[in-house]
Structure 1
Amino acid sequence: MSDAIVSWFSNMNGYTAVFFMSMLPIVELRGSIIFAAATDLPYVWAYIISVVGNMIPIPFVILFLRPILNWLKTTKHLSGAANWVQERSMKKAGKIVKYEMLGLFIFVAIPLPGTGAWTGAIIASILNMRISRALPPIFFGVLTAGFIMLAGSYGLFNLAGYLF
């Protein structure tokens, strides 16, 4: 399965691969920027395409995940998976509940495994945050995580050389 995914992305134009890769949960912007750096795409385009691609699914996750999970909980075979997603997200939601928008921003901005726009959107949906309150911190968190990943993937000193 993983060979098929790698093959699918490697047969695409680099920019298209970065775009679709950034839309995937788990991979998100963090993986797409690393991929862009590995394929020598210009860092400005890697950043812009990764941010746009990462943000496209987020409003849909915030709006539709909670109703979908509630429906899945009523089914016989998928209720366990729905409960697992909700319980796992609630474990990560502690600081977000306390600090709400700032907590959501920090959670999305720090590029560690298990954080990111998708998880932040899932938590916002489960906590029933309004989309108008959840989208700005997620967006700015994605922007920040993108800069961190650019610095790591393209090299902090190389980026400074381009900027100054």
Structure 2
Amino acid sequence: MRDLLITIFLSLAPFTELRGGIPYGLAAGLDFSLVFIVAVLANILIIFPIFFFLDNIHKYLTNWSFYNKVFNKFLVRAKKKVEKKIGTNWEFIALLLVVAIPFPGTGAYTGCLASWAFKLKRKKSLLAISLGVIVAGIITSLVSLGLISLI
């Protein structure tokens, strides 16, 4: 039970997410199906509190002029860069890929932040992030089981 709880905690945590939860659960000897389902569900369920946190903290921080200045400047520059590279019609695929690629700095937290910052449609973002988490779970599982070796 302890190893399952650690797997869940790692899958919920911002820097590890399921990229840490799945390898830990498998290394601890837990059943693959259980580890996969629990890690993916935990990583998907954390999306809702992340959006809630971003929505509410931002409202509070907008009372500070320094925050508004810095945030708006960053957002305008970032949006221009993203639109220049991927255009405006590829947001769903881009968001899915950002979440799906199991590298540091990618995942559900990053996907939520990007979706929120660029004011993407919430339902569409939830779907893209959830699908990205599932794909990341599959890739992480295959790597953890040794079926794919990273060069």
Which residue type is aligned with residue 147 of structure 1? I
1:32 aligns to 2:21 (yes or no): yes
Cα RMSD, aligned residues only: 3.1
Which residue type is aligned with residue 28 of structure 1? E
Equivalent pairs, count: 146
Report the counterpart of residue 152 of structure 1 in structure 2.
Answer: 143
Residue 122 of structure 2, aligned match among 101, 116, 131: 131
Residue 61 of structure 1, aligned match among 39, 50, 60: 50
Which residue type is aligned with residue 65 of structure 1? L
CA distance in structure 2 between the aligned counterparts of 1:113 and 1:91, rounded to whole angstroms: 24
Which residue type is aligned with residue 60 of structure 1? P
Shift of 1:81: 9.0
Greater Cα offset, 51-60 or 63-72: 63-72
Report the counterpart of residue 5 of structure 1 in structure 2.
Answer: none
Shift of 1:107: 1.1
Report the counterpart of residue 42 of structure 1 in structure 2.
Answer: 31
Distance 1:76 1:13, change over 3 A: farther
Structure 2, unmatched stretches of 5+, are: none
1:17 aligns to 2:6 (yes or no): yes
Shift of 1:84: 10
Greater Cα offset, 125-134 or 115-124: 125-134
Identity, % of aligned positions: 32
Which residue type is aligned with residue 126 of structure 1? A
The runs of at least 4 aligned residues of structure 1 exceeding 4 Å deviation read 76-94
CA distance in structure 2 between the aligned counterparts of 1:124 and 1:116, rounded to whole angstroms: 12
Structure 1, unmatched stretches of 5+, are: 1-11, 158-164
Distance 1:96 1:39, change over 3 A: farther
